[in-house]
């Protein structure tokens, strides 16, 4: 039941913008909780990489006195990866197109992360 509700939140998030290509909820130890990913993407790989990047971002923010980590943004030639906490033990990872309107995506991701944190 909970997995269906989380998948519903992700489906709604992906539907808010044509720029969002995929999304997933991952535990901080790298296990995929729920996802709306293309069939060509490996859930385990996305989960492990998201957890690793968030951990590195956390440590960087602490070591450089930037306060509590809010999100990690990676920009590549083929688009963006945005990771943000969705509760104390989970991460929301979103893949977006290279021409995405990031302001709108940040807003939608923040709302989705709040909904996810309530479920978990």
1 pLDDT higher than 70:
no
> pLDDT tens, 34-44?
999 988 899 99
Q: Does the domain spanning 2-119 belong to CATH 3.30.450.30? A: yes
pLDDT score for 4: 84
76 pLDDT higher than 90:
yes
Between residues 84 and 3, which one has the greater pLDDT?
84
Give pairs for 68-75: CB < 8 Å, separation 24+.
71/106, 71/109, 73/102
Indicate the pTM of the whole model.
Answer: 0.91
- The vertex-78 CA angle with 113 and 42, nearest 5°, equals 60
Averaged pLDDT, 27-55:
90
């Amino acid at each position: 039941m909970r997995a269906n509700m989380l998948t519903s939140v992700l489906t709604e998030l992906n539907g808010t913008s044509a720029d969002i290509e995929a999304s997933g909820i991952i535990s901080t130890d790298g296990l995929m909780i729920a996802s709306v990913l293309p069939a060509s993407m490996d859930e385990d790989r996305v989960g492990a990489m998201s957890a690793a990047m968030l951990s590195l971002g956390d440590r960087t923010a602490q070591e450089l006195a930037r306060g509590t980590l809010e999100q990690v943004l990676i920009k590549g030639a083929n688009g963006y990866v945005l990771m943000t906490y969705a509760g104390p033990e989970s991460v929301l990872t979103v893949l977006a197109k290279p021409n995405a309107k990031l302001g709108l995506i940040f807003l939608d991701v923040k709302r989705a992360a709040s909904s996810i944190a309530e479920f978990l």
